[in-house]
Amino acid sequence: MTALFISLVVIFFIFFFYSLKIMREYERGVVFFLGRYQTVKGPGVIMLIPSVQQMVTIDIRTIVMDVPSQDIISRDNVSVKVNAVVYFRVINPEKAIINVEDYQQATSQLSQTTLRSVLGHHDLDDMLSERDKLNFDIQQILDKQTETWGIKVINVEIKHVDLNESMIRAIARQAEAERERRAKVIHADGELQASHKLLEASQVLAQQPEAIQLRYLQTLTDITSEDKSHTIVFPLPIDFLNRNVKT
């Protein structure tokens, strides 16, 4: 009797040991009863019936996945290599286990094809200057397609856009030409504004003859301040000569 009792106790503890599961806060368990989906459990202590109930554990934390470099031909026929990083998490463990064999691999492959498809419809300038918009477009497409897998794509970031050496030199020449164009435009705008100011000044001086004389004296002062060896000729006013002739 005692041996039977001990055997039952041992069997009970073995049964209890194999049926007891402890799940962390970021883990969920998809439970199957005789092969059919039953429920999602966790976190905490989980009791399962051995050989009758099976559980697949899944991590619901945010996963950071690198998208390998993809060879992309832009809309303006420029060949580039682009890689990115995708942030996603499982929000429905049941769908992530039942609807897709390997949700991480599936998300990775979908990210690569989506990256090539979206960037292939844009020019190189868009890839370099409008990354925020492209990131958002890729994220929206991935999030919509992975919804049936119980996946939520949180963010997509394009990391690098690699160009060949010839294209880098061409972009540098283009940037230099653009800077020169802007410098010429700014210089021309300055000349135009200065001409308007000179016209206004000439109109004011024409209305006040005394101002012309003062400006003339100021110019003479500026000339003699740098080099005192200048010989300055003072012209006589025309009206003064006319008065002397009449007298």
> pTM for this one?
0.67
pLDDT of residue 214: 64
Residue 137 to residue 161: CA distance in whole angstroms: 17
Q: What is the pLDDT of residues 67-82, one digit of tens each?
A: 999 999 888 888 899 9
pLDDT of residue 50: 83
pLDDT of residue 140: 95
Q: Could you tell me the sign of the dihedral formed by the alpha carbons of 204, 205, 211, 216, in that order?
A: positive
16 or 32, which is more confident?
32
> Diameter of the chain by CA atoms?
159
What is the DSSP code string of 31-77?
A: EEETTEEEEEE-SEEEE--TTTEEEEEEE-S-EEEEEEEEEEE-TTS
Backbone angles phi, psi at 40, to 5 degrees: -115, 130
Residue 193, CB-side half-sphere exposure with 13 Å CA sphere:
6
Residue 213's pLDDT band (cuts 50, 70, 90) = low
Cα–Cα nearest to 92, from 34, 175, 150? 150
CA 195 to chain centre: 44
173 or 113, which is more confident?
113
**Phi-psi group of 174: left, alpha or beta (phi > 0 → left; psi -120 to 50 → alpha; rest → beta):** alpha
Residue 158 to residue 133: CA distance in whole angstroms: 11
Q: For helices 103-119 and 131-145, what crossing angle results, to 10°? A: 140
Give Cα separations from 68 to 114, 166, 217 (angstroms). Answer: 12, 23, 76
pLDDT of residue 134: 94
Percentage above 70 pLDDT, the chain = 75
Beta bridge partners of 53: 33
pLDDT of residue 184: 86
Are the CB atoms for 150 and 99 separated by under 8 Å?
yes
Q: Please report, as a single letter, which amino acid is at residue 209.
A: P
Residue 110 to residue 11: CA distance in whole angstroms: 48
Average the pLDDT over each of 21-25, 130-134, 198-202, 223-227 and give the range with the smallest value.
Answer: 223-227
Q: What is the pLDDT of residues 88-146, one digit of tens each?
A: 999 999 999 999 999 999 999 999 999 999 999 999 888 888 999 999 999 999 999 99
pLDDT of residue 155: 95
17 or 185, which is more confident?
185
Residue 55's pLDDT band (cuts 50, 70, 90) = very high
pLDDT above 80 for 221: no
Residue 149 to residue 104: CA distance in whole angstroms: 10
Residue 42, CB-side half-sphere exposure with 13 Å CA sphere:
23
Residue 194's pLDDT band (cuts 50, 70, 90) = confident
pLDDT above 70 for 48: yes
pLDDT above 60 for 241: no
Structure tokens at 144: 């919509």
Percentage above 90 pLDDT, the chain = 45
Cα–Cα nearest to 94, from 53, 45, 151? 151
